Amino acid sequence: MITPDIVKSHGLSPDEYQRIIELIGREPNLVELGIFSVMWSEHCSYKSSKNHLRKLPTEAPWVVCGPGENAGVVDIGGGLVAIFKMESHNHPSYIEPFQGAATGVGGIMRDVFTMGARPIANLNALRFGSPQHPKTRRLVDGVVRGIGGYGNCVGVPTVGGETTFHRAYDGNILVNAMCVGVARADRVFYAAAAGIGNPVVYVGAKTGRDGIHGATMASAEFSGEDSDEKRPTVQVGDPFREKLLIEACLELMEKDAIVAIQDMGAAGLTSSSFEMASKGDAGIELDLDRVPMREPGMTPYEIMLSESQERMLMVLKEGHEAEAEAIFRKWELDFAVIGKVTDTGRMVLQRHGEVVADLPVAPIAGSSPVYDRPYEEPAAPIPVALSEPAVPVMPHDQALLRLIGCPDLASKRWIWEQYDHTVGADTLVGPGGDAAVVRVLGGDRALAVSSDCTPRYCQAHPRTGGMQAVAECRRNLIATGARPLAITNCLNFGNPERPEVMGQFVGCIEGMAEACRALDFPVVSGNVSLYNETDGRAIQPTPNIGGIGLIEDLDRVVGIAPTEGQVLVLVGETYGWMGASLWLREIMGREEGAPPPVDLAHEHRNGAFVLEQIQGGVVRACHDVSDGGLAIAVAEMCLASGKGADLRIPQGLAAVGWLFGEEQGRYVLAVEPAALKDLLADAARAGVIAREIGRVGGDALQVKDLPPISVEELRRAHEAWLPDFMGGDAVAA
């Protein structure tokens, strides 16, 4: 009997349960209730976010497929497409960091190769709690080992990402995984079931009891006491089997056998079967006795809700079963015909000869509740005013060393050296720069990929923060010489039932939408992760943006490392904006003020100019100016090159603002002295502010009349923090 307590334990409200009864004309049984609970979960249905996601621009001439499929697809020319997506695995990674992070990587790769693409690059965006929190070190260790262990075994390079720390993530870390793949434009596969009588086929690993109600758990607020009891909801990954699954699927995709294909991700066999049937306006009958199982006595409820990894569901053309089975058996994977496509519009499940569920497809997959949650617009923050006499808390040279070694800006080498970022031999620019660059299938073109967000800006003013995340991602792609194409996103927020959290979500979405339209940078895929809070304490709003760009001439790829004698040119305006800055937080101990404004026309104009100069061969190195301001950008260029630089401070600007202000839309370019005059003239004609700010040379960073800082001193400060943090007492198991 379905009691109110059982309904509540499935994450459904009384109103939602009443709606279920009205839709199917009776009370559901337990299997059917479980199906509704996962399909109507926030994770699968987007019931609190759907209304606002429609505001995002999703179309452009180069967009082949936007949101709604497993991943987004964009045309990159030459008969090829790029397929990519970003997704969260936050709650599982907090509960069980190794497996949570590992299966996040596995899941996002399946979203990409499901559509016919061979994965060529993985990225991740990691947000951890305060370094002082007792769980942080163990979580960092487990997550990094999980990402490295899975990606390295599968043989897909992990080429970039970001890792930051803030106390807002103490009880709810974020692990967002991104994957990019490349496919032939005429071999893109979708998930719409079709062809009455066509066989429905299960392939991959066997089904077990791991991950049951993972989607429901991902859609619920944490309590500080319940992480251990939720451990069984975390899936267990097998990267070696995933590698076999990739090869088997891609081999079958070369045949004329597949009608539709869907990853068994969140909600497992339930979501994959319902989504395929819904997209094809079809019905499906499944015989659960035929599902390969690794544990005896599994119930229909467990079979349908298991989130065991490395599994796919396909609809094949009738008569191709033997051909497909031979391929999967060759790769030592399970293969079973478990059902067929029907024209009933219903999902009918049988076990031991009895019907255990009989439900209409459309109301479950496409007509979940959609909530227009009330929201409050955050109050406008008060700008921070800093006068030069108020600043001598720390000399600027010491402040630079403090910033370059703080948790957010310190080198993440300890992390990315555990990832294989060179496997496949197509990684041209790896971790440590603005964006990674990966060659496309060994040819003469490449994709630049980046992941970006500044949560403290989103906390201070969500709309501005959403705009800035998109703009910074675009800058990072341009800084390598790439033409930006499109973005994916992973929108991480707290409890949407709280108006202040929903206000953060709406503000960030509207800022993202405005930036995407102005910068011609459409959204083609993404994921929403809500209820990221513990005991009522929400994370900072974190709309991570993953972007890709196209480089059509490998000779024009640039990194951030200049060479001896080159001139440094700053593109963009500098006023000394210190609100919500990293300097204010790390040096002054204050988290306040408005984030720097984002002028989208300015962003577009400056980006177009920089890209033109890179593609023309004028720019030899380029770095965008972001966290920590200009001084940090130049210091990072010195670290990348091993060369020093002479950095000037212009008259009329306070040193602290010039060095550490975080104005947007800025780049530092390194050019040969002979090219400087023409570059500045081109900038003037384009209406772009550009000025010479220094020269590369020597073995120290010299800022006006401040004490010089040797490159080695910078390197020690930059490299020390993370290994010291992780190498203290033994990391708890």
Give tens-digit pLDDT for 662-691. 999 999 999 999 999 999 999 999 999 999
Q: Give percent above pLDDT 90 in the chain.
A: 87
Looking at the structure, do residues 200 and 330 belong to the same domain, yes or no?
A: yes
Classify residue 475: in a domain, yes or no: no
CA distance 383 to 579: 6
344 exposure class (CB count in 10 Å sphere: 0-12, 13-18, 19+): middle
Number of domains forming the structure of the chain: 2
Looking at the structure, do residues 410 and 289 belong to the same domain, yes or no?
A: no
Handedness of CA 387, 390, 396, 399 (dihedral sign): negative
Residue 422 has pLDDT above 60, yes or no: yes
Q: Which residues are catalytic?
A: 43, 89
Q: Would you state the pLDDT for residue 549?
A: 98
Q: Would you state the pLDDT for residue 43?
A: 86
Give tens-digit pLDDT for 70-110. 999 999 999 999 999 999 999 999 999 999 999 999 999 99
Classify residue 716: in a domain, yes or no: yes
Classify residue 232: in a domain, yes or no: yes
Band of the pLDDT at 729, cuts 50, 70, 90? Answer: low
Q: Residues in the chain, how many?
A: 733
Residue 393 has pLDDT above 80, yes or no: no
Classify residue 403: in a domain, yes or no: yes
Q: Would you state the pLDDT for residue 589?
A: 92
> What CATH number corresponds to the domain at position 267?
3.90.650.10
Classify residue 576: in a domain, yes or no: yes
Query: Is residue 663 within 8 Å of residue 721, measured between CB atoms?
Result: no
DSSP secondary structure, 360-420, as one string: EHHHHHT----------PPPPPPPP---GGG-TTS-HHHHHHHHHTSTTTS--HHHHTTS-
CA distance 178 to 237: 17
Residue 10 has pLDDT above 60, yes or no: yes
Give tens-digit pLDDT for 470-498. 999 999 999 999 999 999 999 999 999 99
Looking at the structure, do residues 409 and 277 belong to the same domain, yes or no?
A: no
Residue 537 has pLDDT above 80, yes or no: yes
Residue 216 has pLDDT above 60, yes or no: no
Classify residue 700: in a domain, yes or no: yes
Looking at the structure, do residues 692 and 581 belong to the same domain, yes or no?
A: yes
Looking at the structure, do residues 339 and 410 belong to the same domain, yes or no?
A: no
Band of the pLDDT at 266, cuts 50, 70, 90? Answer: confident
Looking at the structure, do residues 640 and 729 belong to the same domain, yes or no?
A: yes
Looking at the structure, do residues 345 and 229 belong to the same domain, yes or no?
A: yes
Residue 269 has pLDDT above 90, yes or no: yes
Q: Would you state the pLDDT for residue 228?
A: 55
How high is the mean pLDDT of the chain? 93
Residue 58 has pLDDT above 60, yes or no: yes
Classify residue 338: in a domain, yes or no: yes
**Structural domain boundaries, residue 203:** 190-361
Classify residue 608: in a domain, yes or no: yes
Looking at the structure, do residues 406 and 324 belong to the same domain, yes or no?
A: no
Q: Would you state the pLDDT for residue 365?
A: 81
Looking at the structure, do residues 567 and 710 belong to the same domain, yes or no?
A: yes
Looking at the structure, do residues 609 and 730 belong to the same domain, yes or no?
A: yes
Looking at the structure, do residues 229 and 320 belong to the same domain, yes or no?
A: yes
Start-to-end CA span in the chain (Å): 41
Q: Would you state the pLDDT for residue 392?
A: 53
Looking at the structure, do residues 411 and 308 belong to the same domain, yes or no?
A: no
**Which of 268-272, 378-382, 385-389 has the highest average model confidence (pLDDT)?**
268-272
Residue 217 has pLDDT above 70, yes or no: no
Give tens-digit pLDDT for 333-373. 999 999 999 999 999 999 999 999 999 998 888 778 899 99
pTM of the model: 0.95
Average pLDDT over residues 518-547: 96
